[in-house]
Structure formats: structure tokens, C-alpha cells
Amino acid sequence: MRTLSAATPLSLLPALLLGLGAGPLAAQEADHHAKPGHAEQGDPDHAVQGGGALPPGWSVRTDGNAASENVKVVAMGKGLHLTLGPAILLYREQNTGAGPFHTLATFTQTKNAAHPEGYGLFYGGKALDGKGQKHTYFLVRQDGTYLVKQRDGEKTTEITKGWVASPAVHKTGEKGTATNLLEIDHKRDPGKVVFMVNSEPVYSLDAKATNDNGAVGIRVNHNLDLHIEGFDVHR
């Protein structure tokens, strides 16, 4: 299965998959609902004007083989601006590697979502263009909570016990905006993976319980409008 990248227009994905004889991509669990299927929850993926392309070097995977033309990722200022219908994984080949790492990015949610939606970072990404995808992800959302979860194909496993409230997570204010610096630090102490929000550790995981090899990137749930700056990976 071919990985969708900046060199491949998003709108060509269905045709490429058909030509390759591939089936639909595996649907990913929505991190804000107990069950997948946003339309059933009265919250379908939004239509987005001007989507269907990526800045150079970036690749994307949509949840559930959703319409790729409703993904808008543009270079803006010192970072990227995302306007989404479907939820996505966003990553670069240059950020794939092995061993201890430190990754970070500053996320600004520009408006409240109809329902609290998660955004953040992932690591250990493998087979991201197929049904056997694997990764661990760390998200926060507008209600001041965070989540750590692992995915292995169709299966997801909670690391934290669902969404956990933390004063370190900035909630959206009256204008519906909030800025949060997220970090995953597996470099300072290679025996641990530490998840941090606004420089405060909120959760720590034994490195033996997770896989640090693979792609490191960005995870954003559906219908969010975000500005992201300072994304980087240090190994």
C-alpha cells in the first residue's frame, strides 16, 4: 500500500488504492467517543474548502479512509495550520528512527469544537499506510484532560485510564482558544517515557512497556482547527 505524501495529491488516494487492489484503510477508534462513527453521534466530519494538498515532506493518514479533500494542512508563519474534517496522523519520513528520543510541539486550538477533541503527538509509528499500523499517542483536549493510548492494528489499549484531568492542560477560554506545549521525553532517562504538558510531567511509562522505534509525528482528531509550531524530534 502506498503512503500518501506531499508528492501525491490527497484527492488521488481512492484511485491509487483501487489501482493497487487494496481495500479500505483500517478505521481508527475515535478518541472522544466510546464507539466509532461520528455521524451516529450527530457530529459528522466537516467539509473543508481548499484541502487536498500537503506541504513538502509531509505524509498523512486519515481515519477510516475518510475523504482526503477535507484535510487542509498549510505552512503558515513558523509552523503549520490544520483545518480538518476527518482525524489524521501527520508525519515526515525524516522523523523515523530507532532508540531514545525527545519530541515536542506547541498546539494552539483556535476555536472550540462541538465536542472535546484530542490533539497531540505520537511515536513508534509502523505500517502507517496499512491495516497493521502501530503507534503510541499522547493527546490533550479543550476540557483540560489528557490521554495516552497504544494502537496495534484494529486494537487500541489504554495506557491511562481514559481521559485524565490535569491542571497542566490549558482549557479553552471564552474565545474558544488555548495553547499547550506537549512533549514526550524518552531521552533524558532512556528507561522511561515521560509525557509532559506545558513543561509539567503528567504521566510516566516504563520504556520496556512501549516501542520507541518508528515514526514520530502529530495526531489530531476530527473537526479541529489548530496552529502547530516548533514540532521537532531529537534522537
Assign domain 10-234 one CATH number from 1.10.3720.10, 2.60.120.260, 2.60.120.560, 3.40.190.80. Answer: 2.60.120.560
**Tally of CB atoms within 10 A around 145:** 18
- Quote the radius of gyration of the chain (alpha carbons, Å): 16
**pLDDT at 79 exceeding the cut of 70:** yes
Indicate the average pLDDT of the chain: 86
Q: Looking at residues 204-213, what average pLDDT do you find?
A: 95
**Tally of CB atoms within 10 A around 55:** 13
**Which residue stretches of the chain are H helix?**
13-20
How far is residue 22's CA from residue 127's CA, in Å, rounded to a whole number?
A: 14
**pLDDT at 6 exceeding the cut of 70:** no
Residue 7 dihedral angles phi and psi, to the nearest 5°: -80, -10
Task: Decide if 85 contacts 47 (C-beta within 8 A).
Answer: yes
**pLDDT at 40 exceeding the cut of 80:** no
Domain range summary for the chain, segments of one domain joined by +: 10-234
Question: SS3 for 111?
Answer: coil
State residue 95's pLDDT score: 97
**pLDDT at 4 exceeding the cut of 70:** no
